[in-house]
Chains A and B, each alone.
Chain A
Amino acid sequence: MVLLDIKNLTLEIDISGGWVKALDKINMVIHEGQIHALVGESGSGKSLIVKAIVGALPYRWRITADRMTWKGQNLLTMSVSARRKIIRKDISVIFQNPINSLDPTLTLGQQLKEMLPTDKLSKLWFWQRKKEKHALAVKLLHKVGIKNHQLCLDSYPHQIASDVVQKFMIAMALASEPRLIIADDPTRGMEVTSKTQILKLLSRVNQVKNMSVLFVSHDLLAISSMASYMTVLYCGQTVESGELHQLRKRAFHPYTQALLDSAPSFRKDLPPKSPLSSLDGTIPTLHHLPIGCRLGPRCPRARKECVAIPQIRRVHTHFYSCHFPLHWEAK
């Protein structure tokens, strides 16, 4: 069953008078029970997509899409409160910066209990409910691997190590028992042990509860260890998406290939002391976006035709948008 279906999502930002397309025709489909990875460099608009899905965007920004549906209901045309209800019930976000996305003046316990859905409580009176909420909160904390639950619930966000806060954020995301968890770079800046713990936690949630996960990251190793489907983003455009093993075996888009090559641990055939490959240049700023295919100026295969936006082509479940894809040479 398709949970989230996004077609041609465009987000425009007003930068000193001119409207700039920060996201340009994004396509993404998330199925139930799937771990979907969203990959891209810093500044490619990954977090913007997340914010656009949950509607946490400044109201001055313009957002348009041919289709943006949640289980068939159109998210863009429905009322704000209906959309909020869907997000409250079915979608949870784990933010990039866990400490900043928590209220600094409330204890973690108060914030976690705020997220527990009231209709799932069975007791009637508020003192019974209080007890029940506490029990649920403790259970959630144990689920994500926080043992010292009382100390955690009584602490303020700044008093706790960042990896524990990130686990706590996952507990908060699980509190409403959503259908989709959006993890926006949950392992940023973590050392390997806590990173593995968090990734394991996410895949276990996916397997046990059949929750879908939209995993936003640029960590290819983490993605390949858990995701089944991958969408590659460059500078606000989806360049390629498909089953992870297919993409790894044979990428069609030059950018995907460059991305895979840039991770040395991905390449088994890398000889010792050979230079590491990377694309020349950097990702363009919003003020200087190239027209057409935005990879153009950096692309090793760019030609005259690349100033036009390439059409989306598909091979089975594998979508790409490039004028001169890599597999054409093989023919």
Chain B
Amino acid sequence: MVNVLLRYLNLVVVTLFILSLLSFLLAYLFPGQAVENLTGLRLDELSTLQNNQLKYAIDDNVFVQYWYYMGELFAGNWGVSFSSGLPLYEDIGHYLPASIELSAYALFLSFFIGLPLGFLAALQHHKLTDYGLLSVSLLGYSIPVFWLALIMILGFSLQLGWFPLSGRLSLIFEIPSITGFILVDILLSDSIDKQSALIDALRHLILPTLSIAIVTTTLILRITRRSVIETLNSEFILAAYARGLTPRQVLMRHGVRNALIPIWPLLAMQFPTLLTNAMIVESIFSWPGIGNWLIQAIYQQDYPAIRAGMLAVSVLVVIFTMSIDLTIRLTDPRRRRVGRAAI
């Protein structure tokens, strides 16, 4: 147990180290002076600042520079944006939760729809339900996310007028940002019109969540279906039938758990795809998330923002994937250590 934890910790630390190294190198690879890209301040501003308060290690060698860079990263001092002049750490802290919120809802939605449908398709293998679900999932899987989002806007916002076109919350509500997650913030706030704010936030959420969730749902459906079919064909399931258990007992006691085990790592691998889709959808719905923010930064050639944003997103992905992997590793009984005592 401790051994496994240490191993994963080691892996995470090494990966994060490489990521920080890459983000540091980006400052050199981008056009312009490295010190500009790292701080977000122009050279003339820097030279005026340097004389009175700011010190920087531009004349030292690269390793010393990296050391200082890491120190500033951990101090929460990520530089400022070229375009807005705002500190990047606060900016990312504000935009990243919005993206996480959107992706999390989409992920949960896909689970709640994809897993049961996957089981249904597998249990009806080679029957009409199976083929129907499979073709629908193929359709959902093949639709590009940006196009789907546009079609949804066209249909549900412009034609039918059911849902708002863009944004996260109507401007008439004033919700202070505490956690960065809009639904939590609304519940925490002492606004007079909590309920209508909540409904408004949910209406804003539905279209972007759906556009992301559809692709992920079809993926989960297909992965689940495959895994359940494979599990139900395995020898111990046949053996359980041969022991005279009913199909229901076989499925509930032996089928479900064994089918779910191989699904989790595959799903962890889908998380980066989900986040990419979320970024695209964000910029279409003008959702104030990290994806939208990053794309704006790229348009404006805001190199410090690109550097910091990419570092933040990749760290998030690495930590999420690793923690799922670790959970699987620790809970899977098939990987448990063999006892030494003889029987």
Interface of A toward B, CB cutoff 8 Å: 51, 54-56, 81, 84-89, 91-93, 95, 97, 100-107, 114-115, 146-148, 151-152, 155-156, 158-161, 164, 172, 176
Q: A86: which B residues are within 8 A, CB to CB? A: 244
Choose from B243, B261, B336, B339 the contact partner of A93 (Cβ within 8 Å). B243
Q: Which residue of B lies closest to A89 (CB)?
A: B244
Question: By the criterion CB–CB under 8 Å, are B244 and A104 in contact?
Answer: no
Can you list 23 A-B pairs with a CB-CB distance of less than 8 A? A51-B238, A54-B241, A84-B244, A84-B245, A85-B244, A87-B243, A87-B244, A92-B243, A93-B243, A95-B235, A100-B234, A102-B239, A103-B253, A104-B334, A105-B261, A106-B333, A147-B343, A148-B343, A151-B339, A151-B343, A152-B343, A156-B334, A161-B343
A-contact bits for B221-239, CB 8 A (1 contact / 0 none):
0000000000000111011
What's the least CB distance linking B235 to chain A, in Å? 4
What's the least CB distance linking A133 to chain B, in Å? 15
Q: A115: which B residues are within 8 A, CB to CB? A: 243
Complex interface residues of chain B between 243 and 260 (CB less than 8 A to chain A): 243-246, 253-254, 257-258
- Docked pose: A91 CA to B242 CA in angstroms: 9
Question: By the criterion CB–CB under 8 Å, are B258 and A105 in contact?
Answer: yes
B338 at the interface (CB under 8 A from A): yes
Q: Which residue of B lies closest to A168 (CB)?
A: B343
B328 at the interface (CB under 8 A from A): no
- Docked pose: A227 CA to B274 CA in angstroms: 63
Q: B257: which A residues are within 8 A, CB to CB? A: 105-106
Choose from B243, B245, B261, B338 the contact partner of A159 (Cβ within 8 Å). B338
Q: A147: which B residues are within 8 A, CB to CB? A: 343
What's the least CB distance linking A137 to chain B, in Å? 14
Q: Which residue of A lies closest to B331 (CB)?
A: A105
What's the least CB distance linking A283 to chain B, in Å? 23
Question: By the criterion CB–CB under 8 Å, are A158 and B334 in contact?
Answer: yes
Taking A103-B240, A104-B236 as contacts, is the C-beta distance between A156 and B333 under 8 angstroms?
A: yes
A-contact bits for B306-343, CB 8 A (1 contact / 0 none):
00000000000000000000000000111010110111
Q: B254: which A residues are within 8 A, CB to CB? A: 103, 106
Question: By the criterion CB–CB under 8 Å, are A148 and B342 in contact?
Answer: yes
- Docked pose: A148 CA to B339 CA in angstroms: 13
- Known A54-B244, A155-B339, A172-B243; 17 more pairs at CB < 8 Å: A51-B242, A56-B238, A56-B239, A84-B245, A95-B242, A101-B236, A102-B236, A102-B239, A104-B334, A105-B257, A106-B254, A106-B257, A107-B333, A148-B341, A151-B339, A151-B341, A152-B343
Taking A158-B334, A158-B338 as contacts, is the C-beta distance between A54 and B343 under 8 angstroms?
A: no
Question: By the criterion CB–CB under 8 Å, are A88 and B242 in contact?
Answer: no
Question: By the criterion CB–CB under 8 Å, are B239 and A93 in contact?
Answer: yes
- Docked pose: A151 CA to B339 CA in angstroms: 9
Q: Which residue of A lies closest to B260 (CB)?
A: A105
Closest 9 A/B residue pairs (Cβ):
A88-B244, A101-B239, A87-B244, A56-B242, A54-B242, A100-B235, A148-B343, A56-B238, A159-B338
Question: By the criterion CB–CB under 8 Å, are B343 and A164 in contact?
Answer: yes
Q: B240: which A residues are within 8 A, CB to CB? A: 103
What's the least CB distance linking A55 to chain B, in Å? 7
Choose from B244, B333, B336, B343 the contact partner of A160 (Cβ within 8 Å). B343
Q: A148: which B residues are within 8 A, CB to CB? A: 341-343
Q: Which residue of A lies closest to B250 (CB)?
A: A103
What's the least CB distance linking A265 to chain B, in Å? 31
What's the least CB distance linking A167 to chain B, in Å? 9
Q: A164: which B residues are within 8 A, CB to CB? A: 343
